[in-house]
Structure 1
């Protein structure tokens, strides 16, 4: 039961579930929306979280739960960060302040969290496929449940969405797609479809003309049927109806996505209309909060105290993304063949300065990771040097293209892989837990794991100069504050010995190096910054195996198939396992929920204390 202050929120206090919502009168929905808007602002000022998208989807969320019998009727959200109002209405209002906190609510829909979260959504462009699957399953079950996909924030720019539209239209599936058209993803939307949608007349203008014309023509014998046959051609002048209707969808819109009464009316009309339907609504990201309306990119995600004065803040260290942003601008000055490519992550990957300084060499391909990689491959074929700035979890979506279109042809493509390792509050859907494992097995690929910002900067240069596919993976957030030097002693496939100890050797891959050095100080261990996952520094591994009793490998990647597995494979292939004990420290074989990153690492044994205890158990004297 929601614990909402009845004096401050008289309507919201009555609504702890969609069942309560459906007891309200239609005229109550607009004032309820204003209460929810205020509640959301005040709550996220305490907790932080995704902001502008949830404000933009407020009225459509109200209307959907008001009209549809949720959770029996399935609502599938796309993308997931627009669902905070959905969580408020579905028995979680009093827990919203815990969002993205350890043991609190997830920042995205999560099936294990609520029966109203019918499909987990951390990435994008998946809703129509999932909704179609549910619609067909419900058809087989004969349970009369409805299926609705709400797709917005640029998710329609992903190719998978069009594959699903094509399939659903061809099957004449009984489902509804709500296109939440706000001209935005996290960055500005790009692409021909987006350009077309932004040229639309307002919904009220188009629909007024259409409905008024029908009323007049029905009074004239024969004229109405002629006009009806011409309607599709006329609609093509105003709306993208031709596109969606060609795919087999009954198209309605565009209508004002902030007019909750109009939304309810449209949804009630469409609810019992058989076959595939698409409702096109026009919304404004950040609606109702002026600063977010003016700058929806900045207010896509807010930190606590965003709505109040935060005093005493100090400048933070540059993030790894900032280091990449600096590097790509520096390299672009030196080489006019450099091309920067991102799948809708200009701000997240810090390509802002590059996009402004080199607009002809900057390409945002929208939420289309597969296309991003093959587009880069095409550029490389013509002698350019493409750099694909991509999050680790988004690189997963382009795996076939990485193998077939880049690696097999041994093309010069550099992957700048951001958000590698755990990402804390965003949880399992955004954690870069697997990139070393799934990239290490691909031939012709150079893989580097910098331990600090300076190594990251210079490894990007080495990867760029490498003749073939190369990958540099770095984490979210700031590092240790390492200064970027003009040069660095960095040789292909060679590690760096940081401390020479006895009996125990720690082979570190990536930014957990400070932890390795802390353990070494306790047990006088050898510490090697391995730097390269592929190729491994096999000479150093062989020497370590012959002169030490215990090898610890340390990485922020899945322990299965990761860098430590590569060390094991080398030792086994060269009959060295009989002379040394090996322990691999990495991420476990299960998904971790969102939380504090250091606590998450410690919970799976990646901590100074646990590694030290392991060494004590295995080494005596």
Structure 2
């Protein structure tokens, strides 16, 4: 018998199947996910958990006319397979291949581009309001996880939707898990609602026992109605104006279809609470959903095997520094917006539980919470991805910088992030932080500098960001103490003639390769703000040409800061700014992307020689063309 999945090229093919065949199709779909993600890497356990829900949604709703908005997008691989992209799944997250997230330009079935959490309800409500305004019968559905529901934006949208009278369906995919273990009062509240599942199982057993005793059975039915009213009509979602349904089994595809068919016909704001298991169908992922949240390539029969590397990642360097600094200073407190594992804070959370705060997916709250701690004399360290600090920009300006509070921001994933693509790239932080008064920006070139500059930042009495990339550095040995580097001071690491390369961050090592060919001076700037003006003046006065090099956007970045400083010093220099252009980067292998954007040693040299064609000639013969 032919596999069902081979004949599914679009949801219209899926809707021709009998409901009874969906269970078998879910098995095939899960096998396909295991096969492809193990070869490409990517978000794994979250996708396995939503197979039945994805099938049921496309079976009941008339997609793409009806809009499905997937929050974050960690769970959309099954959606991609069912919407005509099955044959391309081998290109997932590869350069030129499928994105790991929903992307409007990739498919008409991707109704809204997502990757940062908690945007789905707002977007789906906007679509529902548009349908109402234009008289369309189109449906709008938001699928959001319990982790994403911890963010304030989700509640803002729920608050608005509940009084909108729009036909919008919000589906809560409750797997008791985000990337890190869930936290907060909401998680406890959902756990209480989950008890309704146990009530339902008990009802089945009790009904069988009581049917032979009519008076008792009548009493039980009365109690059942009261209990259902208590569970379903007194939820926070009902209070917000939604009609609540659930909790229901998210792996019972038949039950999901029945529930969704009823909700398809319902009017007004609807809320469906679905309970799933992250990693469903792959035992190793069910047992350890954190490890299998976003693994690299692995052998499905063996599972994920820890990579053996002699190099520490920048994230590990931060984690070690955090523990060492906390052991020395009892004022240090650490904050993460639901990224304990990703930010290297597991050991800290175990060693210093009273000084560890996971605030959930709530970046705005994390930053202002840190500001409150700093007001009381503590020394907060906020560990946050560069791309996620964007979500708390107002708080960074208004609550931290304006009050000049000594908060350290450890910005992980600065620069390119590779396979996660433009939604997660940390290209903009230099530009958007350095324009804020009182803020400083440190750009370590390697692992040891990362440790030293974290100490430098911690020693300041004003807010400082320390930005560092994903993955390992060049393998520099770490110093054991917490000695800081001088604040705002650069270092000349190579002396050449005529041409000087001013490096901000880990591209320093690529610059040194170029410098040998071009006999260039290399300066490790270390700080994008404040600039070392004395060193900059000396270099500008003794060199004909300056190149600035950064793994951030050229527009408004460190190179722009150099130009501004030179103008203020009334120094007229020829300056080439090298970094990322005014465009979003693609997803793919970081090494290939750096080649594509001309930020490897070869690309940097070509860029310099193209800008100044005579630069490779001996210094005495150089002329500007």
Using structure 1 for the length normalisation, give the TM-score. 0.93
Instruction: Report the secondary structure of 1:170's partner residue.
Output: coil
Choose the corresponding residue for 2:362, options 362, 368, 388: 368
Structure 2 matches for 1:208-607, cutoff 5 A? 234-235=227-228, 238=231, 241-309=234-302, 314-486=308-480, 490-577=485-572, 580-607=573-600
Deviates more, 1:611-620 or 1:568-577: 611-620
Are 2:611 and 1:611 equivalent residues in the alignment?
A: no
C-alpha distance in structure 1 between counterparts of 2:165 and 2:317, whole Å: 50
Listed one character per residue, the Cα deviations across residues 527-564 of structure 1 (whole Å, up to 9, x for unaligned) are 00000111100011111111111000000001000011
Number of the residue aligned with 1:3 = none
Q: Aligned-pair distance for 1:486?
A: 3.6
Deviation of 1:598 after TM superposition, in Å, equals 2.3
1:430 to partner: Cα distance: 0.3
SS of 1:258's equivalent in the other structure is coil
| Per-residue CA distance 1:178-211 (angstroms, 9 max, x = gap) | 0000010001111101112123345554457899
Aligned residues of 1:319 and 1:479 also touching (Cα < 8 A): yes
Match of 1:137 in 2: 130
For residues 568 and 308 of structure 1, the distance between their equivalents in structure 2, rounded to whole angstroms, comes to 56
Q: Secondary structure at the match of 2:369?
A: helix
CA contact (8 A) 1:235 1:242 kept: no
1:286-327 CA-partner distances (Å, limit 9, x unpaired): 011111111100111122124145999643521100000100
* Structure 1 residues 227 and 174, CA gap change in structure 2 (3 angstroms): farther
**Residue number among 87, 112, 116 corresponding to 1:94 in the alignment:** 87
Whether contact under 8 Å (1:385, 1:413) holds in the other structure is yes
Change (3 A) 1:585 1:112: same
CA distance in structure 1 between the partners assigned to 2:274 and 2:200 by the alignment = 12
Q: Is the 8 A contact 1:153 1:186 kept in 2?
A: no
Q: Which residue of 2 aligns with 1:191?
A: 184
> 1:97, CA displacement in angstroms?
1.5
Q: 1:201 to 1:420 in 2, by over 3 A?
A: closer
- 1: distance between equivalents of 2:127 and 2:383? 34
Q: 8 Å contact 1:206–1:238 — kept in the other structure?
A: no
Instruction: Tell me, in whole angstroms, the C-alpha distance in 2 between the residues paired with 1:295 and 1:614.
Output: 46
Whether the 8 Å CA contact 2:5–2:29 is kept in 1: the answer is yes
1:156 is aligned to 2:153:
no
Secondary structure of the residue aligned to 1:411 is: coil
Question: CA 1:306 to 1:385, structure 2 compared with 1: closer, same or farther past 3 Å?
Answer: farther
Q: Secondary structure at the match of 2:144?
A: strand
Alignment CA distance shift 1:204-1:351 (3 Å): closer
Note the alpha carbon deviations across 1:505-530, whole angstroms, 9 max, x for none.
00000000111101110011110000
CA distance 1:467–1:291, shift in 2 (3 Å): same
Deviation per residue, 1:58-97 (Å, 9 max, x gap): 1100000000000000000012111110011000111111
Q: Counterparts of 1:548 and 1:530 in 2: how far apart (Å)?
A: 16
How far, CA to CA, are the matches of 2:428 and 2:449 in structure 1? 21
Change in Cα spacing, 1:57 to 1:449, as seen in structure 2 (3 Å) is same
How far, CA to CA, are the matches of 2:197 and 2:331 in structure 1? Answer: 48
- 1:201 and 1:400 map into 2 onto residues whose CA distance is 36
Alpha carbons 1:196, 1:240 under 8 Å: kept? no
User: Residues 298 and 305 of structure 2 are in contact (CA less than 8 Å); yes or no, is this contact kept in structure 1?
Assistant: no
Q: Does 1:12 align with 2:12?
A: no
Q: Alpha-carbon deviations, 1:463-513, whole Å to 9, x = none?
A: 111111011000000000111114567211110010111100000000001
Q: Deviation at 1:602?
A: 2.4
Q: Is the 1:197–1:239 Cα contact (8 Å) retained in structure 2? A: no
3-state SS in 1 of match to 2:570: coil
**2:61 is matched with which residue?**
68
| Match for residue 164 of structure 2 among 145, 168, 171 | 171
CA distance in 2, matches of 1:311, 1:572: 53
Offset, 1:234? 4.1
CA distance in 1, matches of 2:436, 2:354: 32
Instruction: Rate the CA distance shift 1:99–1:404 in 2: closer, same or farther, 3 A.
Output: same
In structure 1, C-alpha distance between the alignment counterparts of 2:536 and 2:292, rounded to whole Å: 48
**1:153/1:96 Cα in 2 relative to 1: closer, same or farther (>3 Å)?**
farther
The CA distance in 1 between the partners of 2:114 and 2:295, in whole Å, is 20
CA contact (8 A) 1:79 1:153 kept: no
Kept in 1, the 8 Å contact 2:552–2:579? The answer is yes
1:80 counterpart SS class: coil
Separation (CA, whole Å) in 2 of partners of 1:201 and 1:130: 27
Question: Gapped runs of 5+ residues in structure 1?
Answer: 1-5
3-state SS of 2:193 partner: coil
The answer on whether the counterparts of 1:201 and 1:238 sit within 8 Å (CA) in structure 2 is no
| CA RMSD between the two structures | 2.4
2:19 maps to which residue? Answer: 26
Q: Distance in 1 between matches of 2:428 and 2:138?
A: 37
